[in-house]
């Protein structure tokens, strides 16, 4: 049952990436309330599910870590989440700086390497989500449903941000790579099962990445984001996660 449910959801992720560009009703300025709600949903999932998972992984792996070169993670797994946030922040700054340079130097295109590094990081990001879709330890089917909803709306937000930064390059190459990454990550999860230590690192990187990607879309003043809509998504989804 869980396998087939994950298969349906991975197809759902793929369709979101392929057709999110057609959601013309989602405005960037003033920011669509749906996008702000989506940001709240993603943040709620990180704080009420992914971060508590890290605590459980840390307890499970305590004995193993004591005798390995990774023992510093025994009490610092959250450092990985912080580094994940810093990594995506650095890549975002690099992409935005390149975009501004392109605008200032008319007729001169930004280095292709910037696009590929930026998209490459999100390719890894999506592969992690695809893998966790099938390999995350869900108590029941509802857990997978909540994961799909949170990451699905998060994908819509990411797509709009990446399309705004890279324009036609994203539609021509980027969205296809991100779509393939989800499927590849899911297939790896179907065929193999990695060590719990690796899963804990993946969850930590994902948590940091989600927090950064939501905040960078919601915080800029020029976006005219809706704090009310963000809180609606945050608290509404938190209640669902706590009750079901």
Would you write out the chain's pLDDT as a tens digit for each of its 244 residues?
Answer: 788 899 999 999 999 988 888 776 676 667 788 888 999 999 999 999 888 888 777 776 666 666 666 665 555 678 888 888 998 888 888 877 776 666 555 544 455 677 888 898 899 999 999 999 988 777 678 889 999 999 999 999 889 888 887 888 888 888 999 999 999 999 999 998 777 777 888 888 889 889 888 888 777 766 677 889 999 999 999 999 998 7
Eight-class DSSP state of 32? P
CA 224 to chain centre: 22
The C-alpha atoms of residue 73 and residue 52 are separated, in whole angstroms, by 15
Instruction: Quote the pLDDT of residue 163.
Output: 86
pLDDT computed for residue 148 by the predictor:
94
Q: From CA 168, how far away is CA 152, in angstroms rounded?
A: 22
The two structure tokens encoding residue 157? 């937000």
Of 146, 96, 145, which Cα lies nearest the Cα of 118? 96
CA distances (Å), origin 190, targets 7, 136, 194 = 10, 12, 11
For residue 16, the model assigns a pLDDT of 92
The per-residue DSSP string of 61-118 comes to: THHHHHTSTTGGGGTTHHHHHHHHHHHHHHHHHHHHHHHHHHHHSTT-PPPHHHHHHH
State the Rg of the chain over Cα.
18
Q: Are 160 and 20 in contact (CB under 8 A)?
A: yes
64-89 burial code (b ≥16 CB/10 A, e <16): ebeeeebeebbeebbebbeebbebbb
pLDDT of residue 73: 57
The pLDDT value recorded for residue 62 is: 66
Taking phi first (over 0 means left), then psi (-120 to 50 degrees means alpha), and beta for anything else, what does residue 127 get? alpha
């Amino acid at each position: 049952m869980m396998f087939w449910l994950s298969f349906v959801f991975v197809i759902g992720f793929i369709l979101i990436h392929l057709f999110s560009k057609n959601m013309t009703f989602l405005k960037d300025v003033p920011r669509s309330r749906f996008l702000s709600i989506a940001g709240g949903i993603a943040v709620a999932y990180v704080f009420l599910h992914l971060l508590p998972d890290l605590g459980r992984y840390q307890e499970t792996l305590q004995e193993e870590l004591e005798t390995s070169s990774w023992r510093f993670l025994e009490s610092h797994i959250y450092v990985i989440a912080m580094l994940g946030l810093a990594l995506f922040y650095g890549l975002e700054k690099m992409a935005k700086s390149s975009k501004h340079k392109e605008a200032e130097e008319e007729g001169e295109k930004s280095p292709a390497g910037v696009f590929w590094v930026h998209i490459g990081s999100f390719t890894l990001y999506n592969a992690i989500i695809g893998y966790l879709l099938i390999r995350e330890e869900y108590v029941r089917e509802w857990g997978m449903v909540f994961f799909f909803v949170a990451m699905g709306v998060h994908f819509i937000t990411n797509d709009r941000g990446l399309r705004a930064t890279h324009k036609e390059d994203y539609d021509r190459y980027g969205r296809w790579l991100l779509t393939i990454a989800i499927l590849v990550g899911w297939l790896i999860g179907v065929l193999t099962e990695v060590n719990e230590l690796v899963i804990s690192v993946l969850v930590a990187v994902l948590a940091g990445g989600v927090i950064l990607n939501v905040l960078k879309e919601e915080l800029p003043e020029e976006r005219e984001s809706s704090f009310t809509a963000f809180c609606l998504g945050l608290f509404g989804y938190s209640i669902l996660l706590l009750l079901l």
